[in-house]
């Protein structure tokens, strides 16, 4: 009888842990999609409510908002975002009383350099576009970047990584995504174990 009780207890615990993890992962997917959706709609101020608060200890929310708006309001660059595809959400890890989960996702980005139109000759314009194509391909992978001559847009298929974190039981997840040049920031606010999981 005792063996049966132990067996069913172990099964119950395993099922509970699995359900606990799945619930977390579903909430993370939902809240991360909301965060990305705000970015896609250029609602930057609202989107910052979803960012890990530790990030603002390094740079103020006001400064970050100013930098984002300046970048996206640059008349020389036109940006459009396609829908994201969430590839995976890791099982949350409890590290020093805080839950962390690594997210892998794909995102399509359309980018047009309006400044290319101001380049002198057609040959110079083409040289500039060729240079940019090579630069984007070096960053995102040759197979992930194309240029459409008819529309003037570069299409970038970006495979990206983010982290979700919360101090609460299951809700109110905050996020940060891994962007080029942010390694020092990430090292200051994320545990080493999570940084390793991102690679």
Burial of 164: CB neighbours in 10 Å, binned 0-12, 13-18, 19+: buried
Please state, in angstroms and rounded to a whole number, the distance separating the CA atoms of residues 163 and 161.
7
Using alpha carbons, select from 134, 166, 162 the residue that is nearest to residue 147: 134
Which DSSP helix (H) or strand (E) runs through 61?
A: helix 61-72
Over residues 78-92, the pLDDT tens digits come to 888 887 899 999 988
CA angle 77, 53, 101 (to 5 degrees): 90
Q: What is the pLDDT of residue 147?
A: 93
- In whole angstroms, give the CA distance from residue 106 to residue 86: 6
State percent of the chain over pLDDT 70: 85
User: For the structural domain made of 2-198, what CATH number should be given?
Assistant: 3.10.450
Which positions of the chain have pLDDT values less than 70?
1-22, 116-120, 168-170
Q: Residue ranges per domain, the chain?
A: 2-198
pLDDT tens-place string over residues 125-150: 888 889 989 999 998 899 999 999 88
DSSP β-bridge partners for residue 81: 109
Confidence (pLDDT) at 166: 92
Give me the phi and psi of 73, to 5 degrees please.
-100, 10
- Mean of pLDDT over the chain: 83
The H-or-E segment that residue 195 falls in is helix 192-198
Please tell me the distance from the alpha carbon of residue 168 to that of residue 177, in angstroms, as a whole number.
20
Global pTM exceeds 0.75: yes
Q: Are 25 and 149 in contact (CB under 8 A)?
A: no
A 10 A CB-CB count for 7 gives 10
């Amino acid at each position: 009888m005792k063996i049966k009780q132990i067996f069913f207890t172990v099964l119950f615990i395993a099922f509970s842990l699995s359900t606990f993890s799945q619930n977390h992962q579903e909430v993370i997917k939902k809240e991360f999609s909301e965060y990305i959706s705000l970015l896609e709609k250029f609602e930057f101020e609202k989107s910052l409510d979803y960012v890990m608060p530790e990030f603002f200890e390094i740079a103020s929310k006001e400064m970050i908002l100013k930098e984002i708006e300046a970048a996206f309001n640059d008349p020389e660059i036109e940006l459009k975002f396609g829908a994201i595809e969430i590839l995976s959400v890791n099982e949350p890890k409890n590290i020093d009383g805080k839950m962390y989960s690594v997210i892998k996702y794909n995102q399509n980005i359309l980018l047009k350099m309006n400044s290319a139109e101001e380049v002198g000759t057609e040959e110079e314009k083409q040289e500039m576009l060729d240079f940019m194509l090579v630069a984007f391909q070096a960053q995102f992978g040759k197979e992930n970047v194309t240029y459409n001559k008819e529309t003037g847009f570069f299409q970038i298929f970006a495979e990206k990584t983010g982290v979700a974190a919360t101090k609460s039981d299951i809700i109110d997840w905050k996020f940060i995504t891994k962007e080029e040049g942010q390694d020092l920031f990430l090292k200051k606010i994320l545990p080493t174990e999570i940084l390793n999981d991102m690679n």
